[in-house]
Amino acid sequence: MKPRPLIEAVGLAKYFPVRQGLLARNSAVVRAVDGVDLTIARSEVLGLVGESGSGKSTLGRSLMMLDPPTDGQIVFDDTEITPFSDRLLQPYRKRMQMVFQDPFSSLNPRMTVGEILEMPLRFHAAALDKAGRREKAEQALETVGLPGQYLTRYPHEFSGGQRQRIGIARALILEPEFIMADEPVSALDVSVQAQVLNLFARVRQNMNLTMLFVTHDLAVVGHIADRVAVMYLGRIVEIAPTRTLFAQPRHPYTEALMSAIPMPDSGNRRQRIVLKGDIPSPISPPSGCAFRTRCPYAVLECAQARPPLRLVEPGHQSACIRDDLTLVSPLDAVSEASPTWARAI
């Protein structure tokens, strides 16, 4: 039996009007998210990967109803929340929270850590008095591995990794069911990244969290995600359980992303696929398959119609029309020297 989805997006789209030139008002739109269907089951961690500019953050923010979508529906725990006003959304805010990429801009520099952590409680736990809020904030700090007496300090007194922990504590303090983490380790040093990822893995276990974990780094996704969605120019081009995706990528874009993961000691079969040019402008994406301008396997038919996500095997969907391809997996060359996550999956 399939687990009940916690959050679901149907045909989700987010367009941003852009002004081109002085007089032409709203003559064009950026199709940042362009028709995304997505389901995240309870207690599942879905990784969302793609190059910078592919629309991951916009998709995440739309799911959280921070930027109301242009089109499509969002269903949270069997309730469609898309048409909800801020007031109606308020009870849902408690149930979904966000962790941000930049630990420097995500904490108000003029508030103490205590004020930052108590803020969600002011809005969502009115029954708690000052002392109760303080106690909860202290607990939240300890959950993320920081001593409780840091509550009186200001964000600038902390390192990037510590700040990110504070950001995680803020997201967890209301005990949400769903967390959207937007590149939460991208801004951190590699050594700190592993610690913060472990923290995510731990709280996810302990709090039975459902997560959308956004990253441009496939190696990070290998650590933490149960399933991975690959995004390109506002669309999901492949989605599969993490192991399946790594073992048998079915979309050439996924193959290219994977070929860029550094893998020591891989055989000579593994070659980095260097994508031609930049990601095209989401103002005028290529017709047909949006990836065709950079795809090494593109054929004429690729330009004809936008390929829908199709089931290629149970639980594995891809939006490439070519079923004849055998794509290279980074796991083909896994050896003792490979990173732990690659050996684990």
Partner 1 sequence: MTTAAAPLSVFATPAWYQNRTLRRFMRHRLAVMGTVMIALLIMACVFGPYLLPYDDLKIDIRHRFAAPFTGDHYLGTDALGRDTAARLLNAGRISLLVGFFAMVISTVIGASIGVIAGYYRGWLGAVLMRIVDAFLSFPSVFLVLVLAAFIKPNPIMITVIIAATSWMEIARIVETEIRSLRERDFILAARMIGASSRWIMFRELVPNAIGPIIVAATLTIAHAILLEAYISFLGYGIQPPLPSWGNMLNSAQQYLGKAPWLAIVPGLAITLAVASFNFIGDGLRDALDGRSDLK
Query: Considering the rule CB under 6 A, would residue 32 count as an interface residue with ligand ADP?
Result: yes
Kindly give the interhelix angle for 113-124 and 86-93, rounded to the nearest 10 degrees: 120
Question: Shortest approach of partner 1 to residue 108 CB, angstroms?
Answer: 4
Question: Shortest approach of ligand ADP to residue 51 CB, angstroms?
Answer: 7
Is 333 in a helix, a strand, or coil?
A: helix
* 244, two tokens: 């399946």
Query: Considering the rule CB under 5 A, would residue 57 count as an interface residue with Mg ion?
Result: yes
| DSSP percent split of the chain into helix, strand, coil, nearest 5 | 35, 20, 45
- Interior angle at CA 176, CA 34 and CA 341, nearest 5: 70
Taking CB within 5 to 8 Å according to partner kind, which of ligand ADP, ligand SF4, partner 1, none is near residue 194?
none
Per-residue x/- mask for ligand ADP, residues 273 to 302, rule CB under 6 A? ---------x--------------------
Exactly one of 36, 218, 239, 289 binds ligand SF4 (CB under 6 A); that residue is 289
Instruction: Check if the beta carbon of residue 234 is closer than 8 Å to that of residue 31.
Output: yes
Query: Considering the rule CB under 6 A, would residue 231 count as an interface residue with ligand SF4?
Result: no
> Distance from CA of residue 103 to its chain's centroid?
16
Tokens 């504070």 belong to 166
Give the separation between CA 144 and CA 202, rounded to whole angstroms: 9
Closest among 134, 106, 100 to 119, alpha carbons compared? 134
Query: Considering the rule CB under 6 A, would residue 252 count as an interface residue with ligand SF4?
Result: yes
Taking CB within 5 to 8 Å according to partner kind, which of ligand ADP, partner 1, ligand SF4, none is near residue 292?
ligand SF4
How many residues line the site for partner 1 (CB under 8 A)? 28
Is 198 in a helix, a strand, or coil?
A: helix
Q: Which residues bind ligand ADP (CB under 6 A)?
A: 16, 30, 32, 50, 52-58, 282
Site residues (vs Mg ion, CB under 5 A)? 57
Which residues lie near partner 1 (CB under 8 A)? 61, 64, 66, 86, 89-90, 93-94, 97-98, 100-102, 104-111, 119-120, 123-124, 156, 167, 170
